[in-house]
A and B are shown apart, each in its own frame.
Chain A
Amino acid sequence: MSMLEVHDLHVYYGSIHAVKGVSFNVEAGEIVTLIGANGAGKSTTLNTVSGILRPRTGTIEFEGESLVGVPAHKMVSRGIALCPEGRRVFGNLTVRENLEMGAFTRPDDEARETRREVYERFPRLKERRNQLAATLSGGEQQMLAMGRALMSKPKLLMLDEPSMGLAPILVQEIFDIIKALNEDGTTVLLVEQNASKALAIADRGYVLEVGRVSKEGTGKDLLHDDDVRKAYLGG
């Protein structure tokens, strides 16, 4: 049994058919990436898994239990955390308060322990713990968003475009962190436009095109696939 199994997912925005029968699975311990152009349905898929959007049809199972109809705020207690596109940190809350919110459903003493771990992984956040999140740089906000998602100790961490809008040196740092998180036991579902970096760290990948999976394979295979190279890796 896979950790996450999505089968024949159809999602609509009003009358727009955004996701047209996407199926994929994530095994425990893997990094799986969904790549594809703008509008391919990657974020829609993640938002549906996280309960923010509802599928018209299709099944989503996490550890054998259906997630369809489970409200978004119940997901973290099941072990799923989404680090949303555009970071979405709480700008008027301090770094520390943002992290506290990430552990909203957990007892305070456990949350304190996890916060220490997050500060160890992201020393910059510790330095800036009393600053308002709005005053952080883009890279720091991304780290805060990831740290906040980790505060719930997720089994499955879903990341939506974590490298978006960051300087190249920071992009590499973010991917290194994702890799390290995975090595420490977190399963990762990664949505990225930066296909080469994503495929380089992923165990497996799915290519999405206008709402459908057009290709799937190991990260390495996709990285060397001619069609994928042409379409997403610049030849």
Chain B
Amino acid sequence: MGFLTNLINGISLGSVYAIIALGYTMVYGIAKMLNFAHGDVIMVGGYICFCCMQYLGLPPIVGILLAVVGCTCLGVVIERLAYKPLREAPSLAVLITAIGMSYFLQNSALLIWKSDPKVFPSVVSLPNITLFGGQLVVSPISIVTVLACVVVMVCLTLFTQRTKMGKAMRACSEDKAAAQLMGIDVNATISMVFAIGSGLAAIAGVLLCSAYPVLMPTTGSMPGIKAFTAAVFGGIGSIPGAALGGILLGVIEIFARAYIGTQLADAIVFAVLIVVLLVRPAGLLGKEMHEKV
């Protein structure tokens, strides 16, 4: 039963990574940049939800919605102010700006919410589910997290495959100049992707804080890096890759923690990444880039 419990926890943690990784992978797909501030948007989402529930006494669902709205706006503003002026700049300049933005968000949070950890009230107030006569205990937040991940994946897949805006997004990812010639507003499309990614980050933030209820200005940074790893692991730019990478990473992390040791868990996660990248440099589901002449 210990195995099953760990597996469920792993999939649940992996689902959070997957939702965060979607933001990295979609932004990378269209803007060809690594948005290292993405992890900190998670933290902001957590704080917004926390404030709504703790200080304003709003029900959790309202807190989640406001967190999504807040992070969506934040993502669009970050893109407009920090990244859009650098659209033609070398990628190193964009990378450094993203890292700077990450520190800016962390330090702003430090000013607003101070450094003391906040105890995050869970957004799911259901009792634990006990199976097999008490041998297997599943927390409801795990189930909600996995369900949220499935819903997000299904919606995003339908969006990118079936809708005109989703197809335009894929067209922009492939060839911005050609997309413009079709009448697609590339800047608006990039803003939309940042909006979607940041909205998802808010959901991930709330789920993460509900499962691991400590909220600090640095809360988003480690999950952010892990989710980035998951996106690379699955093949950056690929939406199913982000989901697969996220879940695998979560499961590996929990198993490493349970069977090998807590201190070594992160090292093992990144070691697996290195091995996968040695064998498949484009990631599990990533496409090798061939230039067609």
Contacts and interface: CB of A to CB of B under 8 A. Distances in A.
Interface of A: 50-52, 71-77, 81-82, 84, 88-93, 97, 100-102, 104-105, 108, 134, 148-149, 152
Interface string B166-180: 011011001101111
Given A93-B170, A97-B167, A100-B167, A52 B180 contact: yes
B162 to A, nearest CB: 10
B33 interface: no
Interface in B156-202: 164, 167-168, 170-171, 174-175, 177-186
Contacts of B168: 101, 104
B174 A92 contact: yes
B174 A90 contact: yes
B185 A88 contact: no
Interface residues of B, number: 18
Nearest to A80: B181
B175 A104 contact: no
A75 B171 CA distance: 18
A213 B185 CA distance: 33
Q: Name B's interface SS.
A: helix
A80 B171 CA distance: 20
Contacts of A73: 179-186
Contacts of B182: 73, 76, 101-102, 104, 148, 152
B167, B168, B170, B179 pick with most chain A CB within 10 angstroms: B167
Contacts of B186: 73
A88 B182 CA distance: 11
Contacts of B292: 91, 134
A72 B164 CA distance: 19
Contacts of B175: 88, 90
A101 B177 contact: no
A161 to B, nearest CB: 14
Interface in B29-48: none
5 contacts: A52-B177, A52-B181, A73-B186, A92-B170, A101-B179
Contact of B183 (A76, A91, A97): A76
B164, B167, B181, B292 pick with most chain A CB within 10 angstroms: B181
A90 B185 contact: no
Contacts of A93: 167, 170-171, 174
A71, A72, A92 pick with most chain B CB within 10 angstroms: A72
Contacts of B171: 90, 93, 101
Nearest to B178: A88
Given A90-B170, A92-B174, A152-B182, 4 more contacts: A73-B179, A75-B183, A76-B181, A90-B175
Given A77-B183, A101-B182, A104-B182, A84 B177 contact: yes
A89 B171 CA distance: 9
Given A73-B186, A100-B164, A84 B170 contact: no
Nearest to A94: B167
A9 to B, nearest CB: 19
Nearest to B185: A73
Nearest to B174: A90
Contacts of B180: 51-52, 71-73
A216 B225 CA distance: 61
A52, A76, A81, A104 pick with most chain B CB within 10 angstroms: A104
A75 B181 contact: yes
Contacts of B170: 90, 92-93, 97
Contact of A84 (B164, B181, B185): B181
A72 B180 CA distance: 6
B181 to A, nearest CB: 5
Contacts of B185: 73
B29 to A, nearest CB: 10
A152 B179 CA distance: 13
A104 B174 contact: no
A106 to B, nearest CB: 9
A102 B184 CA distance: 9
A16 B283 CA distance: 41
A101 B174 contact: no
A89 B170 CA distance: 12
B290 to A, nearest CB: 9
A148 B180 CA distance: 13
A100 B164 CA distance: 8
A74 B171 CA distance: 17
A94 to B, nearest CB: 10
Contacts of A152: 182-183
B255 to A, nearest CB: 35
A131 B4 CA distance: 42
Nearest to A89: B178
